[in-house]
Amino acid sequence: MKTETVALLIGLASQLLFSSRIVVQWVQSERAKRVLVPSVFWQISLVSSFLMIIYGMLRHDPIILGAQIISYAIYIRNLQLLGEWVKLHPVFRFASYAFPLASLGWFVAGAPHFSLQAMLASRIPGGWLLLGAVGQTVFLLRFVYQWLYSERKGESVLPLGFWLVSFVGSVMILIYAALRHDAVLILGNVFGTVVYARNIVLLRRELRQPSTRPQGQAAPLKEQTEVQAS
């Protein structure tokens, strides 16, 4: 099987998982009429991100690879903030640390189908790389912002700013994906863009309603869990 075919299958599997997490989050939010983010959202994100790391290496795409490495670490941190990380099976936690490190080590050492040297030698137009880098940076800033916000609150929270930045970053990545003829990125971001826009509408509607919750703050995960169980 050709490397391109393997990369496509891995990328599609990753995007299918990414989409499934959004569907779960979207359905629960629609039922509650406000934005909810269950812990399984982060668990699925972690597995999906690992697959995208592999996809980025096979595609020799520094934009995808760099973005997913950072995202992977943030997903783990959110699980830790939720108190869910220690509840996961030790084998899963070990694999979550070991597999990405082993894969990146293999990538640096080089292999017949992918290597760091080949990625550095790839001839992606500078303008495309700049667009992709800015788009991914904006997209990643949503999690940096969410991470810092959650660290300050001491619990995992997704405020309105997270969804606004997600929407802008997703649109920019869509343009980059179209230029690169990357079907995986296109499929992954088209659906996500729609969901981000819908979450913005839901959260803005929620914030306009009288509430004792501080202005601009999304519902904490503890409260979200209670809503889901009811």
pLDDT tens readout for residues 102-160 = 998 988 888 877 788 888 777 777 788 888 888 888 877 787 788 788 888 887 777 88
Q: What is the pLDDT of residue 13?
A: 92
pLDDT tens readout for residues 151-164 = 888 877 778 888 88
Decide if 170 contacts 189 (C-beta within 8 A). Answer: yes
State the pTM of this model: 0.65
**Residue 98 pLDDT greater than 90, yes or no:** yes
Q: Which two tokens stand for residue 9?
A: 């299958």
- Mean pLDDT for the stretch of residues 70-99: 90
Confidence of residue 48 (pLDDT cuts 50, 70, 90): very high
Q: Which domain holds residue 187?
A: 3-229
Confidence of residue 230 (pLDDT cuts 50, 70, 90): very low
- Cα–Cα distance measured from residue 72 to residue 49, given in angstroms and rounded to the nearest whole number: 6
Residue 38, CA atoms < 13 Å, CB-side half-sphere: 18
**Residue 20 pLDDT greater than 70, yes or no:** yes
User: What Å distances lie between residue 229 and 149, 222, 225, 226, CA to CA?
Assistant: 25, 11, 6, 5
Nearest to 36 by CA among 214, 199, 178: 199
Under DSSP, is residue 104 helix (H, G, I), strand (E, B) or coil?
helix
Q: Cα 105 to the chain's mean position, in Å?
A: 23
Dihedral angle sign, alpha carbons of residues 18, 20, 23, 28: negative
Burial class (CB in 10 A: 0-12, 13-18, 19+), 36: buried
Look at the chain and report how many structural domains it folds into: 1
